[in-house]
Structure 1
Amino acid sequence: MEYDTDWQEKYSDMISTPTKALAHLRPGQRVFIGTGCGAPQMLITAMTRRAGQLANVEIIQLITKGNAPYAEKKMTECFAINAFFISSNIREVIQEGLGDYTPILMSDIPDLLNTGIMPIDIALIQVTPPDKTGKVSLGISVDIVRSAADNASLVIAEVNPNMPWTHGDTLVDVYDLDILVPVDHPILERQVDPPNEISRKIAREVAALIPNGSTIELGLGRVPGYGRIPQVVMEFLHERKDIGFHTEMISDTIIPLIESGAVTGARKTIDKGKITASFCMGSKKLYDFIHDNPLFSFRPTEYINDPAVIGKQKRMVAVNMALEVDLTGQVCSDSVGGSFYSGIGGQIDFNRGASKSEAGRAIICLPSLDEFGTGSRIVTTLRPGSGVVITRGTVHYIATEYGVAYLHGKSIQERVMALISIAHPDYREQLFKEAVDAKYLRPDLARFGSRFFVPGEEAMIAAYLMPDGTNVAIRSIRPTDEPHMRDLVYNLSQETIYYRFMSNQRFTHRHIQDFVYIDHRRDVCIVGTIPEASGDQIVAVGRYYLNEKTNMAEVAFIVRDNWQNKGLGTFFFQHLIKIAKRNGIAGFTAEVLLDNKRMQNVFNNSGLRVESKIEEGVYSFDMEF
């Protein structure tokens, strides 16, 4: 695109300096400030210089970057902040009660301005120079800036040649602006927080839920000490195909993902082939990348955040942050106790939209511990004052560095088990006890409270590629596996049951509990699973029971009938050997019926030093490592 080189001469009657432009501001008026890195810094400075002549000027903003001198404590008599989202530059003044926060869905803000419920006297924004047709671009901040500019009584715009010209719904006729203030300074930059290892583990868990052809939203929320985890997810999507974006914010992390070839938007249902967003915050490299780049389509908030629009995308995946989640699934993401931290933002909009999308997924992620490492973010009950942003009735996926819990349509007991399983191991036993005390769990489960401690979980993880190409994921058994274990044992053939239990075993509810709740301090139980819509299907179970007197462990495993004779039992046995050796166990023992030739072959061909003897039709095996 080409700017009009004579624009200052052509529109000279509209041009002013920052100081003269802000002379129009009067006490008691309401001023809107442009979003993110598009915040007009020279106009903000000029406004603040007039503080001594002003009183009770209400500052409306979504999220701003850079200096916010109007938010200093000494300015509170002159400027009253009212934020839709609490950014770091105003957080202190709001948390001290000297500023205000309006909790509202992002999708509802434009209507608030359009209807006059919140009239705007002056809008301070930043735009590109006009082109030959007299159009300027809102550049990197379209979001609610467009509705604020459309409805403000007076629009004052910094005109900056460094502002990227963006495609989409970004053009404004220069005569729809009132005062033009020429500036030439770099656009504010925001560096991406380097992820720590915990953030990367969470991002890896989330990325596993994002299939090829997904359209993605990555939220702008952050957690103290861990940064903006949703943005880290992009690091693990480079091998995906035909990823699309329909999201509020774009950051630098999108550039290497585009360059990897993963992003095409080819399977988007609407805006096919386009990366749709409402604003971006990043480096000059990002701004140069999006400048006049037709791949990007910047649209206003009323479009990007409309749940109906979001829900039209197939495979829509929304990834957002939480500060705290209780055991019933209530999600707090805008406050810490009674202290406001960020805002609702677009979390509800995208949670609703993604949950209505065909094959969509609404994901909330959070680290298992607080920023000090001294408290669990998964709690029995939210702290007093914590606000519920996502209700227990609309929550879907919760992810921590310890895994993913799917809660939608699950009972309270199922939710409790799932969430404790992805809490930090140091807090699982405490959470379990509190859940029993709160009557979230049946009282008879109290006997298993100490068994939520699972040492060395990562060492138990493995994968087995079946001859037909099916990948079986192997991991430690979890309390959430109770319904899947029930499905396994109730669908075994009588022959398989007889070979494993040496009797025609009848399985009671207590038997199923004993399979699932094991004492991980002494025993090990691993399961082989394949994903299904209702959760993991268990196709094999391997277990050993330690005899502490002999330091030998009794080993046993079972494979679902239609998965037998495919090498899975042999793989399980070898994996159990590795785990046992790591735990310092001397060897295995086992008892096998005379007719169970397949199990005998697994042991005899294990490469261990095997001794066996037969008595009353049962082989007793001793296998030293």
Structure 2
Amino acid sequence: MALYPDDNSSELEAMKKRWPKKFWPETAIFERIHPGDRIFVGTGCGEPQHLVGALKRYVEKRPNSLTGAEMIHVWTLGIAPCAEEQFRENFRLNSFFVGSRSRDAINRGDADYTPIFLSEVPALFRHGAIPIDVALVQTSPPDRHGYLRLGISVDIVKAAVEAAEIVIAQINPRMPRIPGDGFVSVEEVDHLVFCDEPLLEYHDPAPDEIARKIGEYVARIVEDGSTIQVGYGSVPNAVLACLGEKKHLGVHTELFTDGIADLMKSGAVDNSRKTIDRGKAVASFCMGSAETYRYLDDNPLVEFRSIDYTNSPLVIAKNRRMTAINSALEIDLSGQATAESLAGSHYSGIGGQADFMRGSVLSQAGRSILALPSTADGGRTSRIVPTLRPGSGVTLSRGDVHYVVTEYGIAYLHAKNVRERALDLIAIAHPDFRPQLIEEAKRMGLIYGDQAFIPGEGGIYPESLEVRRTTKAGLPILLRPVKITDEPLLKEFFHQLSDDSLYSRFMTTKKELSHPWLQEFSVVDYSKKMVILATVEDRPAGRETVIGIGQYGLLGESMMAEVAYVVRDDYHRQGVGRELLARLTHLARKQGVQGFVAEVLSTNVRIFRMFQKMGFVVEKVWEEDGVYEMRTPFGEPGEVEGGGDACRD
């Protein structure tokens, strides 16, 4: 049967002839619903609008026929009589998720919210912990074997159909037939109601510049061959839009969206590297456009499974490189987040977010990513806060978040202590709120009491200055400005330097590296000073390792800058120092610096030769106690060159 048949009359007559006892007048059907019954309604865009509307009209005419009924669902986008004042005595909503249609009623106490992992709900239905008297669902027309399909809403609907005393199905020719768990025999259904009407559609808000920037950062974290889960909203939508260049992605998710369909059409998602359900995009329900519903119809590359399968952390964890991408309302400086409520006011719900973040953490090489704008309320409120507001539900624990991403960068929290987490999160907060967060973190004892901080433009990390280079020895490195969060990396780096390297660079062999001393390198006013790190990726740990550091700082009004660099001993003679010096020269020129000055041990001939090899005119100004001042005025632009394209951005 076609998704959009031209003539429904013959099809309806054939169904009535084959199952005459299933078709009753709607009034007679609704008379079977009793006061106090628990009525389940299909999820989201799969809501049977005609059935819910007909029940509403039935009760309007007979207000005393049905009182004290409880309506149970996950999310409504359509008709919501339980949220209307006139039906207050007839229906009371009990929702497993808080959507826009039910939010006000729940927050004023006229409806109920049940916080629960959605993966647990089917078992509650089956075991009678939450009894279902009546289930109102929407299906496709039956196939020749007498099976309906739940189409875009399998999730907890399948379990509700199995557990309900009375099942009323709205047959809609527009409901796509999707492979998976959504099969329901006509024999399991008590009443059939035919109605050809457009399915509800859900359109994510168009991503703004902030969401697009967040999406670009998240795309850096997602590796080719990963299996992804993505939530709903403008930020997840922007993330999906930024994954188009990835290869061999897989999908194991709760919600199937337009963005996932686009990635499948483009070939970025082919599900070829999945550990389980290989070759299939697995989801539980869809909220999207009519175009996506058509794409899903009879698509052998997609399966919609019951939510106790899709959302089971044990199933999720079976996918290698499982990458869960979700959002939140707030995250505190220790890494715990709320996605459902703020200060006792309900906004959404637990949903499947916690299941997927936990499952991805358990997955081999898995990653959990929390992506959110740095502010709310038009920039008046920071989403990164010292502590969650009292009354806010903790949706994600501190151990379930690997990465946090805002439009200001990426914070990697996994295996970090609370002090490191706090600084990492402050570094990606909105600059307007960073000074306040620093002071609160100090007051709470989360960071050092003497932690330095550069407010204003001079302290904003200049991401645009990051460049990747390959040294003359073929070593790929990242050259980037130092961050306030780099103190642990710098401490590790300096401890690994030999006494000779320490003495040549710092004229000391002391390795007791204090916090104040390290702050001189990690806390930088970028308008006056530049510290560049050369890093490599430490596999399989997946973290950065510093192998070289270079810096310059302006000397008063002279427009000369003091310069220095040092490379880890096991990376000597690989061209790292040359790349560092070339990068520092390039950045200094752009800032208007006219040359470098350095204090050098007279025995340190390597640095003298390095400058000469790179084309600098080197002058020894004075020498005292084995130390001389070396001056290297810049010539014309282009005279000093590094390895490869080191002088180019």
Q: TM-score range with shorter-chain normalisation?
A: over 0.9
Partner secondary structure for residue 485 of structure 1: helix
Moved more, 21-30 or 274-283: 21-30
Aligned with residue 275 of structure 1, among 281, 284, 307: 281
Residues 340-361 of structure 1, C-alpha deviation per residue, up to 9 Å, x if partnerless? 0000001111122111111111
**Change beyond 3 A, Cα 1:559–1:76:** farther
Aligned with residue 127 of structure 2, among 84, 103, 115: 115
Q: How far has the Cα of 1:363 moved from its partner?
A: 1.7
1:191 equivalenced with 2:199 (yes/no): no
Aligned with residue 108 of structure 2, among 96, 99, 114: 96
Structure 1 counterpart of 2:20, which letter? S
Q: How far has the Cα of 1:432 moved from its partner?
A: 1.3
**Change beyond 3 A, Cα 1:612–1:267:** same
CA RMSD of aligned residues (A): 2.5
Q: How far has the Cα of 1:141 moved from its partner?
A: 0.5
The residue number in structure 1 matching 2:144 is 132
| 8 Å contact kept, 2:454–2:524 | no
Separation in 1, partners of 2:454, 2:242: 35
1:457 equivalenced with 2:499 (yes/no): no
The residue number in structure 2 matching 1:388 is 394
| 8 Å contact kept, 1:451–1:518 | no
**Change beyond 3 A, Cα 1:467–1:552:** closer
Residues 98-152 of structure 1, C-alpha deviation per residue, up to 9 Å, x if partnerless? 2111100111111121111111111111000001100111101100000111111
Q: How far has the Cα of 1:336 moved from its partner?
A: 2.1
Residues 392-445 of structure 1, C-alpha deviation per residue, up to 9 Å, x if partnerless? 2443322222222232332221221221122222222221111111112233x2
| 8 Å contact kept, 1:169–1:298 | yes
The residue number in structure 1 matching 2:346 is 340
| 8 Å contact kept, 1:428–1:452 | no
Separation in 2, partners of 1:584, 1:547: 12
Residues 65-86 of structure 1, C-alpha deviation per residue, up to 9 Å, x if partnerless? 2343442344333221111011
The residue number in structure 2 matching 1:523 is 529
**Change beyond 3 A, Cα 1:311–1:506:** closer
The residue number in structure 2 matching 1:590 is 598
TM-score, normalised with respect to structure 2: 0.89
Structure 2 counterpart of 1:499, which letter? S
- Alignment size in residue pairs: 618
Separation in 2, partners of 1:288, 1:18: 29
The residue number in structure 1 matching 2:224 is 212
Q: Percent identity, aligned pairs only?
A: 42
**Change beyond 3 A, Cα 1:453–1:278:** farther
The residue number in structure 2 matching 1:57 is 69
Separation in 2, partners of 1:566, 1:192: 50
Partner secondary structure for residue 312 of structure 1: coil
Separation in 1, partners of 2:23, 2:30: 13
Q: How far has the Cα of 1:622 moved from its partner?
A: 4.1
Aligned with residue 15 of structure 1, among 5, 15, 23: 23
Structure 1 segments unaligned to the other structure (5+ residues): none
Structure 1 counterpart of 2:264, which letter? I
**Change beyond 3 A, Cα 1:518–1:21:** same
**Change beyond 3 A, Cα 1:73–1:573:** farther
The residue number in structure 2 matching 1:363 is 369
Structure 2 segments unaligned to the other structure (5+ residues): 4-9, 636-649
Residues 464-486 of structure 1, C-alpha deviation per residue, up to 9 Å, x if partnerless? 13456654223222232222111
Q: How far has the Cα of 1:267 moved from its partner?
A: 1.9
The residue number in structure 1 matching 2:566 is 558
Q: How far has the Cα of 1:45 moved from its partner?
A: 0.9
Structure 1 counterpart of 2:535, which letter? T
TM-score, normalised with respect to structure 1: 0.93
Separation in 1, partners of 2:556, 2:86: 69
**Change beyond 3 A, Cα 1:55–1:623:** farther
The residue number in structure 1 matching 2:580 is 572
Structure 1 counterpart of 2:561, which letter? A
Partner secondary structure for residue 597 of structure 2: strand
Q: How does 1:600-615 map to 2 (within 5 A)?
A: 600-604=608-612, 612-615=620-623
Moved more, 544-553 or 350-359: 544-553
**Change beyond 3 A, Cα 1:30–1:492:** same
Residues 556-608 of structure 1, C-alpha deviation per residue, up to 9 Å, x if partnerless? 22222333333333333333344344545454322334454443354446567
Separation in 2, partners of 1:581, 1:373: 36
Q: How does 1:152-551 map to 2 (within 5 A)?
A: 152-220=164-232, 222=233, 227=234, 229-443=235-449, 445-448=450-453, 454-455=459-460, 457-467=462-472, 470-510=475-515, 511-520=517-526, 522-532=528-538, 533=541, 535-551=543-559
The residue number in structure 2 matching 1:620 is 630
Moved more, 363-372 or 80-89: 363-372
Separation in 2, partners of 1:398, 1:600: 44
